[in-house]
Chains A and B, each alone.
Chain A
C-alpha cells in the first residue's frame, strides 16, 4: 500500500524529482511545453530569439510580484494592493528624480514607501485582524490615490534625464539576455528556495493551513502575516523602480490589472485560496502560461481582445480540475483510513 499511495500521484518519475515537484507543477510544465510546441509549429516566429526575449521581458515584472501574491495566498490571505504599490513606488521614484534627487536614492525611497504600504496592510491584517481582501483593497486605493495626487494624473517622463546606468537596468543586456530578466530570475530563485527550505518561511504554510493550530504550535501568526505583506510590497516596490527603468516614464495608472493577473497565475499554479497550499514555482508557471497565451494570440494574429476570455477559461478550468482532484483524493483517503 505504501507504494500505491505514493505512486498514484506521479507515475514513474524519479523519486527525488517527484518529491521536488508537486502534481500541479508537473502538470503545468507539461501544459507549458505542449503549448510551446503547438505555437512553434503554428507560427515560425515563436521560437526566435527576439520573440522569446520580449516574452521574458514582458513577464519579468509580473513574475517578481507573483512571489508576494503567492505568499499572501498561502497564508489564506490576498494582496490586492500589489499593482497600486507598484505604481506608487514608480511614481515616487520618478517624482523625486525630476525634483533633482539622485536616481538611486530616489529609487530607494520609492521602495521604502512601498514597504510602508505593506507594513500598513500587514499591521491591519496581522495585528488588528482585519480581512485581507478588504484591507488590501483599501490600501490599494490609498496608494493609487497618492499616485494621482503626486502626478496630477499625467505620467512623468524620465527617459531623457535618466543616467545610462539606470537605463541599463531596464533595457540592457548581458550576453544577449536582458538584465531585467536576470534580476527577475535571481529574485524568483531566492523566493522559491526560501519558501521551500527556510524554517521561518515554512510558517507561512502553517499559518495558512490552520491559523489557530499554528498559534497553538508556538508560531507568532501576527509576525508571519506582517512579514508576508511587507515582502509582497517590497517586491512590488522593486518592480515599480524596474518599470521606471524599463519604460523611462513613471505612470500613475500602471498595474491596474496586475492584482487580478497575479491571483489568476498563483491559483493556476496551485495556490489554494483556503491557504496552506501552493509554491512560488507553480505561481511562476502560471505567469508563464498566461504570458504564452497572450504571446500566441499576437503571433497567430488573433485579436488581443480574446486574451481575457482565454485567461478566464484557463482559470476556471484550473480550479475545477483542482476541486475534482481534491474530492477524489479525499475519497481515496477515506478508503485508506478504513483499511
Chain B
C-alpha cells in the first residue's frame, strides 16, 4: 500500500490507474492522481485547526500570498458537511482537542478534499470504540455511494465482512487469494491468512470453581476525580477478567491507577487480602502487579535498542550482581533473553537485533516477555492484540490462558468484543467512569456488553 501511495518505490511491477500505467515517486504525486491514504497512525498537526489540517500544503491564498481564512473555513465546512453530527468536528477546532475518531474524520476529509477516486484506509478502527466504528462505517458507505473506491486494510475480519465486497488476502508479502466476500466464510479467510487450520482461535476456558478460588486482588471504592468513581471488583487466582466498555469509559485509567502510575483520590487495594499502598509504579511491580500498555509504540518500545535490552528492562536487577553496584552479568542477560524468546516463540534472528526490525506481533511478544520476566502475580494487559496479525493473536491468547492456568491473575482491557468474549472468564463493563455491570460465563454475549457499555439500563 505504501508503494501505491508513493511512500516507497516499487522494485518491480507496475500500477495501472484508470488503465494508465503509472509509478508514483512520492505521496504528492499519488494524491494528485486521486489516491488518498489514511494511515493507521494519525498524522496531523496537533496545534493547528481542523481546516488548516484538511488543506495542509494547499491553503487558499489571496493576492498577497496570505492565507484566506474565510475561504479556508468555507471550503472545509463544505467537506465536513458530508459527515454527520455529532461526530463532525468544527473546522476551527484545534486537532489536539478532538477525539481519535474525529481525527480520523479529518484525515478522511483531507483525502476527500483532494478529489480522491481511491481512498486507502489502513486499520482505521484500531483505536476506535464500537460506536465510533459504526460511525466510520457509515461514512465509508457514504463515500462508496459517491463513486469513490475504498481499499480497506484490517486485521478485524468482522469489519471486512460488514463492509467489503472483495477481499484480497496477503501473507508474508504475497497475495494468497482474492475472493468475493459473499462466497467465503470468516473461517475460510482465517485459514488462508494463517496458512493452516486454526481449530481453536480462542483457547478452551478453564472450568471455574469460584468458591474455592483465592481472591488475588481486591479493589474497593477506588476513585480518581474526573476519571472514575467507586470501582469495586475482585480478581481471582488463575482468572482472566475482562474489562470492556467504550474508549474513554475509564478502563485504562482504572488499571493505571491500580498500578500506581496515576494517582487515586480514594479507595483501597488488597493483594492476597493484605492492604497495600501503591503510590508509584515500581512499588506496584514489587507487589507483583504489572501493566502492559495499550500504546505499544509510544509507551512500550525502546525503538533504537536491541531485543535483549527491551526484554530485560524491568527485571534488570535479576541479571545483575546485587553486591557490586548492580553490575550487569552479560552472560545471564543473554541466556535469560534467549530463554524468554524461546518460551514465547518470538521470531527473531538474533537478540541483538533492534526491536524496530520486528513485526508488530513479535514486538508485542517481546513486551509481554518483559513482564513475564519479572514473575508477576497479576498482569494487566491493555489492548494486548491491537494491530497484531491473526496468528500471533491466537498465540497470545493461548499464552494468556496458560498464564492463568499457572495461577496468575490476568486482567484484559479490550475494545475487541470477540476477543474479550472468547478469552475472558468474567467481564466487567464500564460506562463513563463507573462499573455498569459484570457478566460471567453464560451471561457473556455481545448484546449485553454493548448495552451495558452504552449505558442502557437493563429492564
Interface residues of A (CB under 8 A from B): 1-2, 5-6, 19, 194, 197-200, 202-203, 205-206, 209-210, 212-220, 272, 274, 276-277, 329-330, 333, 336-339
13 A-B residue pairs with CB within 8 Å: A197-B330, A198-B326, A203-B316, A209-B305, A210-B299, A210-B302, A215-B281, A216-B291, A218-B282, A218-B314, A220-B280, A220-B282, A333-B356
Task: From known contacts A197-B328, A210-B302, infer whether A218 and B285 are also in contact, taking CB-CB under 8 Å.
Answer: yes
- Is the beta-carbon distance between A217 and B320 smaller than 8 angstroms? no
- Is the beta-carbon distance between A2 and B349 smaller than 8 angstroms? yes
Question: How far does the alpha carbon of A203 sit from the alpha carbon of B319 in the complex, in Å?
Answer: 14
| B271 interface residue (CB < 8 Å to A) | no
Could you say which residues of chain A place their CB within 8 Å of the CB of B282?
Answer: 218-220
Could you say which residues of chain B place their CB within 8 Å of the CB of A209?
Answer: 302-305
- Is the beta-carbon distance between A200 and B305 smaller than 8 angstroms? no
Expressed in whole angstroms, the minimum distance between the Cβ of A225 and any Cβ of chain B is 16
| B168 interface residue (CB < 8 Å to A) | no
Task: From known contacts A205-B305, A217-B314, infer whether A5 and B349 are also in contact, taking CB-CB under 8 Å.
Answer: yes
- Is the beta-carbon distance between A197 and B327 smaller than 8 angstroms? yes
Could you say which residues of chain A place their CB within 8 Å of the CB of B317?
Answer: 199
Task: Give the most central of A19, A199, A274: most B CB within 10 Å.
Answer: A199
- Is the beta-carbon distance between A202 and B370 smaller than 8 angstroms? no
| B298 interface residue (CB < 8 Å to A) | yes
Question: How far does the alpha carbon of A198 sit from the alpha carbon of B309 in the complex, in Å?
Answer: 13
- Is the beta-carbon distance between A212 and B304 smaller than 8 angstroms? no
Task: From known contacts A199-B328, A216-B299, A272-B304, infer whether A333 and B354 are also in contact, taking CB-CB under 8 Å.
Answer: yes
- Is the beta-carbon distance between B320 and A199 smaller than 8 angstroms? yes
| B357 interface residue (CB < 8 Å to A) | yes
Question: How far does the alpha carbon of A76 sit from the alpha carbon of B279 in the complex, in Å?
Answer: 27
- Is the beta-carbon distance between B327 and A198 smaller than 8 angstroms? yes
Top 5 A-B residue pairs of the complex, sorted by shortest distance between their CB atoms: A199-B326, A333-B357, A209-B302, A199-B320, A212-B299
Could you say which residues of chain A place their CB within 8 Å of the CB of B327?
Answer: 197-199
Could you say which residues of chain B place their CB within 8 Å of the CB of A277?
Answer: 304
Question: Smallest CB-CB separation from B292: which chain A residue?
Answer: A216
| B344 interface residue (CB < 8 Å to A) | no
Expressed in whole angstroms, the minimum distance between the Cβ of B324 and any Cβ of chain A is 9
Could you say which residues of chain B place their CB within 8 Å of the CB of A6?
Answer: 350, 352
| B64 interface residue (CB < 8 Å to A) | no
Could you say which residues of chain B place their CB within 8 Å of the CB of A194?
Answer: 325
| Sample of 6 more A-B contacts, CB < 8 Å, known A194-B325, A216-B261 | A198-B326, A215-B281, A218-B282, A336-B349, A336-B357, A338-B172
| B300 interface residue (CB < 8 Å to A) | yes
Question: How far does the alpha carbon of A2 sit from the alpha carbon of B173 in the complex, in Å?
Answer: 20
Expressed in whole angstroms, the minimum distance between the Cβ of A334 and any Cβ of chain B is 8
Question: Scoring B residues 295 to 318 as 1 if CB is less than 8 Å from chain A, else 0, what string do you get?
Answer: 100111111110001000110110
Question: Smallest CB-CB separation from B284: which chain A residue?
Answer: A218
Expressed in whole angstroms, the minimum distance between the Cβ of B304 and any Cβ of chain A is 5
Task: Give the most central of A5, A214, A218: most B CB within 10 Å.
Answer: A218
- Is the beta-carbon distance between B305 and A276 smaller than 8 angstroms? yes
- Is the beta-carbon distance between A205 and B281 smaller than 8 angstroms? no
The secondary structure that dominates the A interface is: helix
- Is the beta-carbon distance between B293 and A216 smaller than 8 angstroms? yes
Task: From known contacts A206-B302, A276-B302, A337-B357, infer whether A216 and B281 are also in contact, taking CB-CB under 8 Å.
Answer: yes
| B336 interface residue (CB < 8 Å to A) | no
Question: How far does the alpha carbon of A336 sit from the alpha carbon of B355 in the complex, in Å?
Answer: 12
User: Count the B residues whose beta carbon is within 8 Å of the partner chain — how many?
Assistant: 40
Question: How far does the alpha carbon of A215 sit from the alpha carbon of B349 in the complex, in Å?
Answer: 28
Question: How far does the alpha carbon of A333 sit from the alpha carbon of B349 in the complex, in Å?
Answer: 12
Question: Smallest CB-CB separation from A18: which chain B residue?
Answer: B352
Could you say which residues of chain B place their CB within 8 Å of the CB of A197?
Answer: 327-328, 330
| B406 interface residue (CB < 8 Å to A) | no
Question: Smallest CB-CB separation from B293: which chain A residue?
Answer: A216
- Is the beta-carbon distance between B350 and A205 smaller than 8 angstroms? no
- Is the beta-carbon distance between B359 and A337 smaller than 8 angstroms? yes
- Is the beta-carbon distance between B316 and A1 smaller than 8 angstroms? no
Could you say which residues of chain B place their CB within 8 Å of the CB of A333?
Answer: 354, 356-357
* Those of B351-396 within 8 Å (CB) of chain A: 352-354, 356-359, 370
Expressed in whole angstroms, the minimum distance between the Cβ of B122 and any Cβ of chain A is 15
- Is the beta-carbon distance between B302 and A200 smaller than 8 angstroms? no
- Is the beta-carbon distance between A213 and B299 smaller than 8 angstroms? yes
Could you say which residues of chain A place their CB within 8 Å of the CB of B316?
Answer: 199, 202-203
| Contact partner, B325, options A200, A216, A220, Cβ 8 Å | A200
Could you say which residues of chain B place their CB within 8 Å of the CB of A212?
Answer: 295, 298-299
Could you say which residues of chain A place their CB within 8 Å of the CB of B356?
Answer: 330, 333
Question: How far does the alpha carbon of A199 sit from the alpha carbon of B313 in the complex, in Å?
Answer: 9
Question: How far does the alpha carbon of A146 sit from the alpha carbon of B281 in the complex, in Å?
Answer: 40
- Is the beta-carbon distance between B370 and A217 smaller than 8 angstroms? yes
Question: Smallest CB-CB separation from B283: which chain A residue?
Answer: A218
Expressed in whole angstroms, the minimum distance between the Cβ of B91 and any Cβ of chain A is 31
Expressed in whole angstroms, the minimum distance between the Cβ of A17 and any Cβ of chain B is 14
Could you say which residues of chain B place their CB within 8 Å of the CB of A339?
Answer: 172-173
Could you say which residues of chain A place their CB within 8 Å of the CB of B302?
Answer: 205-206, 209-210, 213-214, 276
Expressed in whole angstroms, the minimum distance between the Cβ of B174 and any Cβ of chain A is 10
- Is the beta-carbon distance between A5 and B350 smaller than 8 angstroms? yes
Expressed in whole angstroms, the minimum distance between the Cβ of B298 and any Cβ of chain A is 6
Question: How far does the alpha carbon of A205 sit from the alpha carbon of B308 in the complex, in Å?
Answer: 13
Question: How far does the alpha carbon of A274 sit from the alpha carbon of B302 in the complex, in Å?
Answer: 12
Question: How far does the alpha carbon of A330 sit from the alpha carbon of B303 in the complex, in Å?
Answer: 11
Question: How far does the alpha carbon of A212 sit from the alpha carbon of B349 in the complex, in Å?
Answer: 27
Question: How far does the alpha carbon of A197 sit from the alpha carbon of B329 in the complex, in Å?
Answer: 8
Could you say which residues of chain A place their CB within 8 Å of the CB of B326?
Answer: 198-200
Question: How far does the alpha carbon of A2 sit from the alpha carbon of B299 in the complex, in Å?
Answer: 29
Expressed in whole angstroms, the minimum distance between the Cβ of B172 and any Cβ of chain A is 7
Question: How far does the alpha carbon of A210 sit from the alpha carbon of B299 in the complex, in Å?
Answer: 7
Expressed in whole angstroms, the minimum distance between the Cβ of A244 and any Cβ of chain B is 30
Expressed in whole angstroms, the minimum distance between the Cβ of A335 and any Cβ of chain B is 9
Expressed in whole angstroms, the minimum distance between the Cβ of B361 and any Cβ of chain A is 11
Question: Scoring B residues 251 to 293 as 1 if CB is less than 8 Å from chain A, else 0, what string do you get?
Answer: 0000000000100000000000000000011100100000101
Question: How far does the alpha carbon of A214 sit from the alpha carbon of B310 in the complex, in Å?
Answer: 10
- Is the beta-carbon distance between A216 and B358 smaller than 8 angstroms? no
Expressed in whole angstroms, the minimum distance between the Cβ of A207 and any Cβ of chain B is 10
| Contact partner, B353, options A5, A200, A205, Cβ 8 Å | A5
Question: How far does the alpha carbon of A210 sit from the alpha carbon of B298 in the complex, in Å?
Answer: 8
Could you say which residues of chain B place their CB within 8 Å of the CB of A200?
Answer: 325-326
Task: Give the most central of A1, A212, A213, A330: most B CB within 10 Å.
Answer: A213
Question: Scoring B residues 323 to 344 as 1 if CB is less than 8 Å from chain A, else 0, what string do you get?
Answer: 0011110100000000000000
- Is the beta-carbon distance between A198 and B304 smaller than 8 angstroms? no
Question: Smallest CB-CB separation from A215: which chain B residue?
Answer: B281
| Contact partner, B300, options A19, A203, A213, A336, Cβ 8 Å | A213
- Is the beta-carbon distance between A210 and B293 smaller than 8 angstroms? no
Question: Smallest CB-CB separation from B354: which chain A residue?
Answer: A333
